[in-house]
Amino acid sequence: MAKIIRIGTRESQLAIWQATQVKDLLQKNGYKAELVHIKSEGDIDLKTPLYEMGVQGIFTRSLDAALLNNKIDIAVHSMKDVPTQLPEGIVQAAVLKRGSVKDLLVVKDELAVIFNRLGYAKSEWTALINEKSSLVVATSSIRRKAQWLNRYPASIIENLRGNINTRLQKLNDENWDAALFAVAGLERLDLIPENSIELDWMLPAPAQGAIMVVCRSEDSEIREACISFNDADTAFCTKIERDFLRTLLGGCTTPISGYANMEAEDVHFKGNILSPDGQQKVEFEIKMPVWEASGLGKFAAEQILAKGGKEIAESIPDAEE
């Protein structure tokens, strides 16, 4: 391919990092590529909580429009931001090897003080949870909010928007105890603070830590260029997670989590749905051989719905949008 491949990206530091990885992979395989910066709705409004704006597509619509209007040749997205139904005319071209799926608690006070209040000792989460802990914790994620309140119902949750550097600065400036972040984003920018801890008990968003590349469906040359760096295991596991999300009709206000990972010849999946206040929770976990797992996401979602997840989903405004 003689032409220069135009890579669409949001303007945030993390988005540019992700797009640069794709650019480097293309160039490694002999293709010429350049970045094209495009503003997204999610980057313009930094005050409204994401779950009030409509998370699904808020960071991807502008890039998708540029792609369909032939202003770019591919778009690079954080996969968890991508709606489970891609716009007509756009297809998944590749999924990069997944980064960390964990969530991270970044704290302001001495770690020992926070750990004691959270029930964390000797580098592990204990069974003794201090449910009366009244920490003030900031996040823009309805999923993180619900899981945190399920474990620590006395906590106060504050809205936290902006790019990673802005959010870290807000934590420093505001009268908050801690804030929740995705490990992958901080890790990719080498910004993980020392006063932080991975939340092994918190289940990630479907496709968290994965990067998706999309292109126009009729552009066979671009699809061929991208397939060389598609990670099959990541693509398989994230499809299970996104099938799970889609079957649950997960909308912008629905706290849904799901994670599939390969264990030798098996796939291990765990998923849940919570009410936004964390008081209700339905979860499901299963392990099965890879060759039997093509419909695992849909199956797991149906189990969740049958166990009471349907009532939770239907009680949440806009849950089916």
Number of Cβ within 10 Å of residue 112's Cβ equals 10
Catalytic hit among 43, 81, 103, 219: 81
What would the two tokens of residue 19 be?
Answer: 């797009």
> How far does Cα 51 stand from its chain's mean position?
14
Q: Which residues contact 104 (CB under 8 A, 6 or more apart)?
A: 180, 181, 182, 183, 186, 192, 196, 197, 198, 199
Q: Catalytic annotation on 81?
A: yes
How would you classify residue 232: left for phi > 0, otherwise alpha for psi between -120 and 50, otherwise beta?
alpha
Q: Which of 134, 107, 123, 276 is nearest to 193 (CA)?
A: 107
Q: At what angle do helices 296-304 and 232-247 cross, to 10 degrees?
A: 30
Contact yes or no for 59/80 (Cβ under 8 A): no
- CA–CA separation, 313 and 175 (whole Å): 33
What would the two tokens of residue 28 be?
Answer: 């490694």
Q: Is residue 9 within a helix (H) or strand (E), and if so which, with residue range?
A: strand 5-9
- CA–CA separation, 151 and 284 (whole Å): 18
Q: What are phi and psi of 109, to 5 degrees?
A: -80, -175
Catalytic residues: 81
